[in-house]
């Protein structure tokens, strides 16, 4: 009986952890908010912690323009592609703004080539267009030090390479390309402190510059 109680207690502790682990793409992160959307949004912003932080740092930018943020910290393009239907297509926006790739380069989900990261973003654009949603591709923001992955080196060069691929695809597919990188980088291809306290995630000044830039496309 004692052993059974121990097993039951262990299951009670581990079950939530196992369930969370199974939700690899974090479908449940915005499930409740998605169910509460009653007005078709003009724009859904799909992304990682940069997008998630944007909605938290300046929520008025989103509510005032009928925008919705669907960023999840740490996510790669693979995560975003898997949840694209739930968090974008099902909301039926006019536009989707895709800002992704930083965590692929940081190898948050293991090794992935730049070409495969690009392929995931292309797939999101194709899914959007198939559902009459206009995709907008954003450059990866500059960053020359991943503080959560300090062993990674040369990421600023990989970011530039991915941005070249994104820009080339956008031109060939006639998808708008938003170049945050050129507007925000410093002389070392990093994100200066005036735009990001930690060198990767924009602060209020950084987001305000991004807002000024993206509104030209919407």
If you write DSSP's letter for every residue of 59-101 in order, what string do you get?
A: HHHHHHHTEEEEE-TT--HHHHHHTHHHHTGGG--SEEEEE--
Q: For residue range 121-151, what is the model confidence (pLDDT) as tens digits?
A: 999 999 999 999 999 999 999 988 776 566 6
In a domain, 2, yes or no: no
In a domain, 143, yes or no: yes
Give the model's pLDDT for residue 29.
87
Q: What is the pTM of this model?
A: 0.86
In a domain, 81, yes or no: yes
Q: Which of 204, 215, 205, 196 is nearest to 57 (CA)?
A: 204
Mean per-residue pLDDT, 73-78? 94
Q: The domain spanning residue 95 has which CATH number?
A: 3.40.50.1110
* Domain housing 78: 29-217
DSSP per residue over 91-148, as a string?
Answer: G--SEEEEE--HHHHTTBTB---HHHHHHHHHHHHHHHHHTT-EEEEEPPPP-S--TT
**With contact defined as beta carbons under 8 Å apart, do 79 and 86 qualify?**
no
d(CA 6, CA 78): 38
Rounded percentage of the chain residues whose pLDDT exceeds 70:
87
Strand partners for 3: none
d(CA 100, CA 196): 17
In a domain, 184, yes or no: yes
Mean per-residue pLDDT, 71-96? 97
DSSP 196: -
Mean per-residue pLDDT, 67-77? 96
In a domain, 18, yes or no: no
Share the mean pLDDT of the chain: 88
Give the model's pLDDT for residue 190.
85
Is it the case that residue 3 has pLDDT exceeding 60? no
In a domain, 107, yes or no: yes
Domain count across the chain: 1
Give the model's pLDDT for residue 60.
97
Q: Which helix (H) or strand (E) holds 44?
A: strand 43-47
Is it the case that residue 178 has pLDDT exceeding 60? yes
Give the model's pLDDT for residue 115.
97
Give the model's pLDDT for residue 111.
85
Give the model's pLDDT for residue 148.
57
In a domain, 166, yes or no: yes
List, in order, residues 6 or more apart from 94 with CB less than 8 Å away: 40, 41, 42, 43, 133, 134
In a domain, 4, yes or no: no
Is it the case that residue 20 has pLDDT exceeding 80? no
């Amino acid at each position: 009986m004692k052993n059974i109680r121990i097993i039951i207690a262990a299951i009670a502790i581990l079950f939530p952890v196992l369930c969370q682990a199974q939700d690899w793409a974090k479908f449940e992160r915005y499930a409740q908010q998605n169910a509460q959307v009653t007005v078709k949004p003009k724009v859904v912003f799909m992304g990682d912690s940069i997008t998630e932080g944007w909605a938290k740092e300046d929520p008025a930018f989103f509510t005032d323009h009928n925008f919705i943020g669907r960023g999840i910290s740490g996510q790669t393009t693979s995560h975003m592609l898997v949840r694209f239907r739930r968090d974008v297509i099902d909301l039926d926006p006019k536009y989707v703004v895709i800002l992704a790739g930083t965590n692929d380069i940081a190898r948050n989900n293991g090794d992935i080539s730049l070409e495969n990261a690009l392929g995931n973003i292309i797939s999101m654009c194709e899914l959007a267009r198939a559902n009459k949603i206009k995709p907008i591709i954003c450059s990866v923001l500059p960053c020359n030090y991943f503080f959560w992955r300090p062993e990674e080196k040369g990421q600023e060069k990989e970011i530039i390479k991915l941005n070249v691929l994104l820009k080339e695809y956008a031109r060939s597919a006639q998808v708008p390309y938003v170049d945050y990188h050129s507007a925000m980088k410093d002389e070392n291809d990093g994100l200066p402190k005036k735009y990001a306290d930690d060198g990767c995630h924009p602060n209020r000044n950084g987001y305000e510059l991004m807002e000024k830039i993206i509104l030209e496309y919407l």
